[in-house]
Amino acid sequence: MKIFLRIFFSLITISLSYGLYHKSFIDFTLGDRVIGFTVIIAAFMYLPMFLYYRWKGKKLKDYVLSEKNLKKIRDRK
């Protein structure tokens, strides 16, 4: 999964760079479409996969401020 995410991120970066180049030097409308498509793919495909990969195996209650966690923080001081 880690290698796939790196390759996918590289493809997104290359596509965004190509869109910016195409927008500046060749055709404005097609460059905008490439940039927009790249942003949509990054937001709706890459981001959920990345978040799933990073949060897999972790407990959400360890990161939420509950009364128990607040008490631990106060006891440390």
Dihedral angle of Cα 59, 65, 66, 72, to the nearest 10 degrees: 100
Q: What's the pLDDT at 41?
A: 95
15 band by pLDDT with thresholds 50, 70 and 90: very high
Q: What's the pLDDT at 13?
A: 95
Burial 8-38 (b: 16+ CB within 10 A, else e): beeebeebbeebeebbeeeeeeebeebbeeb
Distance CA 37, CA 14 (A): 13
Q: What's the pLDDT at 17?
A: 94
pLDDT digits (tens, 9 = 90+) for 17-63: 999 999 989 988 899 999 999 999 999 999 999 999 988 888 877 77
**Residue 77 pLDDT greater than 80, yes or no:** no
